[in-house]
């Protein structure tokens, strides 16, 4: 048997390794079809045929000096350039004024020209007047109303006490915030509100109550809280049947609170439903 020189064996091995390395990699394994069905769905565990989540561009965080960017699938309600998406009264042009990219409270409540719901994510940035004036409910009072009727309280509660169900981050008249996460007056603060809107039966009775989760300056202050009704002053609120979509309303309570960088995203279950 003829011997193969050592250097030839090395060359052949290297060639074989090179050919093996150049073989195409198998397609990425995306999932399984032979696993159990997930209860309540049409999908198997690890089902590769299940629709992929939509791709969006996330927003950018705000700083004290500059508002951030909204996610790519959001509706921008207030961009600091104009107030064309807001109305005063029934259908009047917005009476609030823009100053240095922020809308300043004054001239009555304002509301969005468009309606939103039933489920959405709402981002709001606001700043309290400085220097601080007044105390309790008389200090930097405003509010964010969902569907035009359910209020998340805006107030300067930095070293300022008031009744707990009227504090910053409260569902007004109903549920105090879990903590007081207020920044000093003059600094920009944020609300990120996750809303599961109420649903009503054909006879006007409540089929499902509203559920709210609220983050104040990134801190959870309402954790999947059930709303018991509307939020009138000094009364126990009740539900009154209304459409599944409604406006966002900002309150004029006589204090020059500033608002900027408002945007909203419709929340759907997923693209597979």
In a domain, 198, yes or no: yes
In a domain, 273, yes or no: no
pLDDT at 192 over 80: yes
Indicate the DSSP class of residue 136. Answer: G
For residue 108, what are the CA distances in angstroms to 99, 102, 209, 248? 17, 16, 29, 14
- pTM confidence score: 0.85
In this structure, is the dihedral angle defined by the CA atoms of residues 101, 103, 104 and 107, taken in order, positive or negative? Answer: positive
Phi, psi of 220 (to 5 degrees): -70, 120
* Beta-sheet strands, E only, within 35-149: 75-78, 86-88, 92-93, 97-99, 102-104, 110-112, 119-127, 142-146
Helix (H) or strand (E) holding 18: helix 6-21
User: How many separate domains does the chain show?
Assistant: 1
pLDDT at 166: 95
Q: pLDDT band at residue 17, thresholds of 50, 70 and 90? A: very low
* Domain boundaries, position 242: 75-266
Helix (H) or strand (E) holding 20: helix 6-21
% the chain with pLDDT above 70: 88
pLDDT at 76 over 80: yes
Helix (H) or strand (E) holding 7: helix 6-21
Rounded average pLDDT over 138-161: 96
Strand, helix or coil for residue 86: strand
Indicate the DSSP class of residue 74. Answer: P
In a domain, 19, yes or no: no
Rounded average pLDDT over 149-156: 98
Taking Cα atoms as reference points, which of 147, 50, 118, 107 lies closest to residue 256? Answer: 107
CA–CA gap between residue 10 and residue 136 (Å, rounded): 86
Average pLDDT, the chain: 90
Q: Say how far residue 52 (Cα) sits from the centre of its chain.
A: 22
pLDDT at 95: 96
In a domain, 161, yes or no: yes
Instruction: Give residue for tokens 């693209």.
Output: 271
270 neighbors 53 (Cβ within 8 angstroms): yes
Question: Could you report the per-residue pLDDT of 159-188, keeping only the tens digit for each?
Answer: 999 999 999 999 999 999 999 999 999 999
For Cα atoms 220, 108, 258, give the angle at the middle one, nearest 5 degrees. 45
In a domain, 64, yes or no: no
Rounded average pLDDT over 257-271: 90
- What CATH number should be reported for the domain holding residue 219? 2.60.120.560
Instruction: Give residue for tokens 């207020």.
Output: 182
Rounded average pLDDT over 253-260: 97
pLDDT at 22: 54
In a domain, 79, yes or no: yes
Q: How many other CB atoms are there within 10 angstroms of residue 132's CB atom?
A: 16
Hey, which residues does 127 pair with through a beta bridge?
188, 258
Q: pLDDT band at residue 243, thresholds of 50, 70 and 90? A: very high
Q: pLDDT band at residue 89, thresholds of 50, 70 and 90? A: confident
In a domain, 254, yes or no: yes
The answer to whether the bond into 199 is cis (omega within 30° of 0) is no
CA–CA gap between residue 69 and residue 149 (Å, rounded): 28
Q: pLDDT band at residue 28, thresholds of 50, 70 and 90? A: low
In a domain, 7, yes or no: no
């Amino acid at each position: 048997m003829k011997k193969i020189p050592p250097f030839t064996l090395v060359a052949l091995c290297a060639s074989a390794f090179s050919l093996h390395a150049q073989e195409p990699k198998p397609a990425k394994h995306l999932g399984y079809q032979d696993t159990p069905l997930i209860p309540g769905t049409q999908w198997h565990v690890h089902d590769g045929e299940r629709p992929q989540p939509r791709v969006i561009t996330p927003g950018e965080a705000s700083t004290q000096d500059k508002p951030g960017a909204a996610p790519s699938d959001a509706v921008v309600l207030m961009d600091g350039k104009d107030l064309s998406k807001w109305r005063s009264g029934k259908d009047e042009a917005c009476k609030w004024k823009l100053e240095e990219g922020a809308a300043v409270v004054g001239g009555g409540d304002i509301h969005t020209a468009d309606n939103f719901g039933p489920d959405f994510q709402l981002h709001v940035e606001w700043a309290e007047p400085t220097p601080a004036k007044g105390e309790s409910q008389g200090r930097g009072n405003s509010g964010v109303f969902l569907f035009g009727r359910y209020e998340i309280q805006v107030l300067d509660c930095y070293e300022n006490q008031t009744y707990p169900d009227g504090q910053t981050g409260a569902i007004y008249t109903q549920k105090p915030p879990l903590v007081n996460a207020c920044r000093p007056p003059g600094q920009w603060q944020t609300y990120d509100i996750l809303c599961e809107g109420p649903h009503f039966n054909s006879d006007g009775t409540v089929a499902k109550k509203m559920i709210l989760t609220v983050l104040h300056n990134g801190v959870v202050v309402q954790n999947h809280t059930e709303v018991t009704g509307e939020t009138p002053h000094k009364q126990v609120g009740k539900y009154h049947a209304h459409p599944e979509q409604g406006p966002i309303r900002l309150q004029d309570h006589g204090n020059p609170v500033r608002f900027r960088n408002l945007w909203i995203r419709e929340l759907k279950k997923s693209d597979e439903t």
